Amino acid sequence: MVMDSGQGGTESGIRSTVELVYRPTRADVLTAVLVRERLRRLHLLRWVLTLVVGGFALLAAIAQATVTVSTGLFLVLAVLIWAMPHFQAHHALRTVEWQGEYRASVSDTGVETETAHVRLLQRWSVFRGYRETRDHVVLLSRDPNILLVEVLPKRGLRSPAETELLLDVVGRHLTRV
């Protein structure tokens, strides 16, 4: 944590910065995908489609009294629909993991992320809100489809006590959704 009593501080004159250092993992990206899916209520659609296609597989097996190609195809399709968030997480992880270690600074300005290859500053106005999970703080973009999701893994903090400071900084600028 860095404390600075400069001009750019908060109302009390104290500016807080929380720093995280981490390597993105599959769990980080899967959490972001699942939070986004739940907020948009896509998990309901995914489960309904899985149950419908699984029901067709069951009906096909009962009607033919054996397991046929159509039954197998319905089962495979049901599994693929259920596993869609895992496929999305795998693809997204391949997009970001090659950059190695991430250093993120969360301050009153926004979230600044830096790797060996890129530096990105996202101001708070980009985000609509945040959701906290057991191991992550997920920031969600303002656009209707929530195309931008920023994941801040709590394991990247120097100590567990910094979790409260991180939530305080994020909470000053965003609402919990």
Going from N- to C-terminal start, the domains of the chain cover 2-23+100-176, 42-86
Query: Helices 26-39 & 84-96, crossing angle to 10 degrees?
Result: 130
Helix (H, G, I), strand (E, B) or coil at 128: strand
Q: Who wins on pLDDT, 5 or 56?
A: 56
* Chain segment 29-77, per-residue pLDDT in tens: 999 999 999 888 888 888 888 888 888 888 877 887 666 777 788 888 8
- With the C-alpha atoms ordered 98, 99, 102, 107, is the resulting torsion angle positive or negative? negative
Query: What span, in angstroms and rounded, lies between the C-alpha atoms of 173 and 30?
Result: 25
Task: Name the band, by pLDDT with cuts 50, 70 and 90, for residue 6.
Answer: very low
- Cα–Cα distance measured from residue 53 to residue 73, given in angstroms and rounded to the nearest whole number: 10
Work out the pLDDT band at 12, boundaries 50, 70, 90.
very low
Specify whether the CB–CB gap between 174 and 130 falls below 8 A. Answer: yes
Mean pLDDT across the chain: 87
CATH number of 2-23+100-176: 2.30.29.30
Q: What is the percent of the chain where pLDDT is above 90? A: 58
Structure token pair of residue 87 = 């496929």
Q: How far is residue 141's CA from residue 150's CA, in Å, rounded to a whole number? A: 8
Half-sphere exposure of 110 (CA within 13 A, CB side): 13
pLDDT tens per residue across span 71-96: 788 888 888 888 999 999 999 999 99
Are 95 and 29 a contacting pair, CB within 8 Å? Answer: no
pLDDT, position 151: 96
